[in-house]
Structure 1
Amino acid sequence: MKLENPWKQNPWFESVAVAQQRARKKLPAPVYGALIAGSERGQTIEDNQAAFAELGFAPHVAGHRPERSMQRSLLGQDLSLPVMISPTGVQAVHPDGEVAVARAAASKGTVMGLSNFASKSVEEVTATGAPTFFQMYWTGQRDVMIQRMQRAHAAGAQGLIATLDWSFSMGRDWGSPEIPDKVDLLTMIRFAPQVAIKPRWMWQFGKTGAIPDLTTPNLQPPGGEAPTFFGAYYEWMTTTPPTWEDVAWMAQEWKQLSGRPFILKGVYRVDDARRAVDAGVDAISVSNHGGNNLDGTPATIRAVRPVSQAVGSQITVLLDGGVRRGSDVVKALAMGADAVLIGRAYLWGLAANGQAGVENVLDVLRGGIDSALLGLGLSSIDELTPEHLLIPGGFDRAVGAHSESA
């Protein structure tokens, strides 16, 4: 017997802001809280978005181009728009999780970033046909990391992302959302009051016969069991932080194994960008982990131009953090990014309407990019430069631009 959704409504939304509103209405408070959380006072997460609003456009009134292109070839992939899916952990906001996101990425012609803290396996995700970049933290011993690289390569991953911009060690001024170690009967009873007032969310899982999965199958050792999220977190906490020699080793191991791109996520400083080039990476993402790392780090859009000017002729420069609109994407590209990564935006779409919600978010961004190009009188994203923006004095943060220290 097919269950009909008693809360069915018009699933389409016209902005990422509306997707966020719907996610907030649908999700239990701790789940939604995990999506919006930023470290300490939340200064960085706020600046990630506010800084985009400081950049303006000067549109033309005539001479607009009838056709506009936003296609771009990056890291061996042909993208239909310069927006990629950033890897995020344990996407239990929807029963299909990362598989739904990957299907949306494939449908809309972009790359899927898959976290090794994901709730779906790399094999399930690559089976969707989405070009997948597998993400790893620096956790475990080197032989364990090699085993994980080999598994991702065997599954068909088209690139590897090493994420280093994460500490997860600071509290939050308003309190951290409670995340259970696993979902069992006792956990369900304890969280029942919060879940009961969000019946649409549990109905999604109920019709599939599943419960939210907080294990991390991509960290499952051969012949062993997949650890829980906090088991994976413990491994990270007990692993010695990496050096630049470790980064070079990781890049070399992956490229020798696969011959495919290696991306370093978490670069903010110009001197670190130069070190990344020396370590042999193919791309960097200018990132502050969406405001979940060291609070007080300025917005990534403030750092991308100095970084791009320093290394953009040598490697691909990506940006993530605070992207909510197509105009944000255009501003990032004008400031020197080759493409952007999105995180919270697609998670809200996933929570709101599954795969279709993620596709909706990508369509919203596509429409915003096209509108900005139209207003600027451009025919392609390739024509974007800082001259197309109104940039206030002192906007850039060229951190480490003159540092020679190791």
Structure 2
Amino acid sequence: MGRNPWFETVAEAQRRAKKRLPSTVYGALVAGSERGRTIDDNTAAFAELGFAPRVVGHHAERDLSTTVLGVPLSFPVLISPTGVQAVDPEGEVAVARAAASRGVVMGLSSFASRAVEEVAEAQPDLFYQLYWSGTRATMVQRMDRAKAAGAKALIVTLDWSFSHGRDWGSPAIPDRLDLKTMLRFAPDVLPHPGWLLRFAKSRRLPDLSVPNLRPPGGEAPTFFGAYGEWMQTTPPTWQDVAWLRAEWGGPFLLKGVTRVDDARRAVDAGVSALSVSNHGGNNLDTTPATIRMLPAIADAVGHQIEVLLDGGVRRGGDVAKALALGARAVLIGRAYLWGLAANGQAGVENVLDILRGGLDSAVLGLGHSSVHELTPDDLVIPPGFRLELGARSGHDSPAARA
């Protein structure tokens, strides 16, 4: 009798992903910049928060549903855009199908391994993610393509410095999978026949090209080709953000905010929503956990725009804590990638079910009938837990206006 493919926790999904994947592929999922302190704090901070449950007055039925940027969600979790999902041959399409089956939004990276049209067909509730990369004309062409595919909102990620300092992880990633490269990585790949068999059955090699950045009439760049374009693009100003928002013309989410002054400038630039994010620990290491910075940002701008959070969410209880501190919803990244690696589309559905079940248990135990009733009073918050970055530096200063 084979092993039950269902798992009970995200930690078990991670364990199975580590066992199934070649170490280089798994390492790319878990590695962060420099010493990995931000990754550690993203998860540890949730554990520092406690719940204050009620003993009587529980509700037999709980409403977990919400909306983000006008799109209904069965519960307040979105799939965060992550690049080149080579952990499974179906990649982003499998994730999109899982998201559709569980009633959540799929965020698709512009660095994805599958085309936006193909992913949108699997999950029409799609948010497309864009970096400030290339010329303005190039970015308009990419936005127009996403809009034509049916994307309902744009996610703009601006917090990526992608430090070259990787003290403890980030393995070498090949630019292309030619015969020479496959021979070089064979000692790492051959001990993982299950991963190889998946790709063999699908008759697909892990794809390291970036089809969503293919120019009209041209070829898709490799991941590192796309990365090189980003590196050579002059970083944007707040005026550029406002231009992007106007060019898109629809719901617009700015991802990567950690400071109150940046949150206020985002509102000034006309964004519809923001995500408190440190790029999952892949930006500047020792940036604090996002859950520590969420309350100040939600207090500052949450009455004007929707505030989301990503970073470190591993349990449904983590989702409840984020909502209690002011988030409308959370985005998950590594958690669903581990599910994808462990069991394909069913593994992603498994992860979403775990998070939904944990959130429902928290709402029940706290005596609420809806996720919208969660407040800081439901939590035990240690002294000094909340951090308010950029609160004293005026967002109308010359530096902030640039």
TM-score normalized with structure 2 length: 0.97
Aligned residue in 1 for 2:231: 237
Aligned residue in 2 for 1:193: 187
Aligned residue in 1 for 2:291: 301
Can you list the C-alpha shifts for 1:198-242, whole angstroms capped at 9, x where unaligned?
110010000111110000000000000000000000001100011
Report deviation, 1:8.
Answer: 5.4
SS in 1 for 2:101: helix
Superposition pairs of residues 304-323 of structure 1, within 5 angstroms: 304-323=294-313
Question: Could you tell me which amino acid in structure 2 is paired with residue 205 of structure 1?
Answer: F
Can you list the C-alpha shifts for 1:238-279, whole angstroms capped at 9, x where unaligned?
000111111111011001xxxx20100000000000000000
SS in 2 for 1:263: strand
Out of 58, 76, 83, which is 1:89 matched to? 83
Out of 95, 104, 107, which is 1:101 matched to? 95
SS in 1 for 2:242: helix
SS in 2 for 1:317: strand
Aligned residue in 2 for 1:223: 217
Out of 40, 43, 65, which is 2:37 matched to? 43
Structure 1 residues 175, 21: CA separation in 2 closer, same or farther (over 3 Å shift)?
A: closer
Measure the CA separation in 2 of the matches of 1:129 and 1:84.
12
Aligned residue in 1 for 2:269: 279
Report deviation, 1:129.
Answer: 3.1
Report deviation, 1:76.
Answer: 1.6
Report deviation, 1:72.
Answer: 0.2
Measure the CA separation in 2 of the matches of 1:209 and 1:39.
34
Aligned residue in 2 for 1:373: 363
Aligned residue in 1 for 2:10: 16
Q: Does 1:170 align with 2:168?
A: no
Measure the CA separation in 2 of the matches of 1:204 and 1:250.
40
SS in 1 for 2:59: coil
Aligned residue in 2 for 1:150: 144
Contact residue 31 and residue 168 of structure 2 kept, 8 A: no
Q: Does 1:213 align with 2:203?
A: no
Question: Could you tell me which amino acid in structure 2 is paired with residue 42 of structure 1?
Answer: G
Aligned residue in 2 for 1:68: 62
Contact residue 65 and residue 379 of structure 1 kept, 8 A: yes
Aligned residue in 2 for 1:330: 320
TM-score normalized with structure 1 length: 0.96
Contact residue 340 and residue 348 of structure 2 kept, 8 A: yes
Structure 1 residues 88, 8: CA separation in 2 closer, same or farther (over 3 Å shift)?
A: farther
Structure 1 residues 316, 349: CA separation in 2 closer, same or farther (over 3 Å shift)?
A: same
SS in 1 for 2:113: coil
Aligned residue in 2 for 1:4: none
Q: How many pairs does the alignment contain?
A: 396
Contact residue 105 and residue 130 of structure 1 kept, 8 A: no
Aligned residue in 1 for 2:24: 30
Report deviation, 1:165.
Answer: 1.3
Contact residue 53 and residue 367 of structure 2 kept, 8 A: yes
Question: Could you tell me which amino acid in structure 2 is paired with residue 47 of structure 1?
Answer: D
**Alignment RMSD, CA only?**
0.9
Can you list the C-alpha shifts for 1:282-328, whole angstroms capped at 9, x where unaligned?
00000000000000100000001000000000000000000000000
SS in 1 for 2:122: coil
In structure 2, the gaps of 5 or more residues are none
Can you list the C-alpha shifts for 1:20-41, whole angstroms capped at 9, x where unaligned?
0000000000100000011001
Contact residue 92 and residue 213 of structure 1 kept, 8 A: yes
Measure the CA separation in 2 of the matches of 1:186 and 1:130.
39
Report sequence identity in percent: 70
Aligned residue in 2 for 1:252: 246
Report deviation, 1:170.
Answer: 3.2
Measure the CA separation in 1 of the matches of 2:149 and 2:222.
22
Question: Could you tell me which amino acid in structure 2 is paired with residue 84 of structure 1?
Answer: L
Out of 354, 372, 392, which is 1:382 matched to? 372
Question: Could you tell me which amino acid in structure 2 is paired with residue 225 of structure 1?
Answer: E
Measure the CA separation in 1 of the matches of 2:16 and 2:256.
30
Contact residue 81 and residue 107 of structure 2 kept, 8 A: yes
Report deviation, 1:175.
Answer: 4.2
Aligned residue in 2 for 1:401: 391
Divergent runs of 4+, >2 A: none
Structure 1 residues 130, 9: CA separation in 2 closer, same or farther (over 3 Å shift)?
A: farther
Measure the CA separation in 2 of the matches of 1:350 and 1:175.
21
Measure the CA separation in 2 of the matches of 1:356 and 1:369.
20
Once structures 1 and 2 are overlaid, which stretch shifts more, 280-289 or 61-70?
61-70
SS in 2 for 1:127: helix
SS in 2 for 1:340: strand
Contact residue 135 and residue 160 of structure 1 kept, 8 A: yes
Q: Does 1:345 align with 2:335?
A: yes
Aligned residue in 2 for 1:133: 127
Report deviation, 1:176.
Answer: 2.5
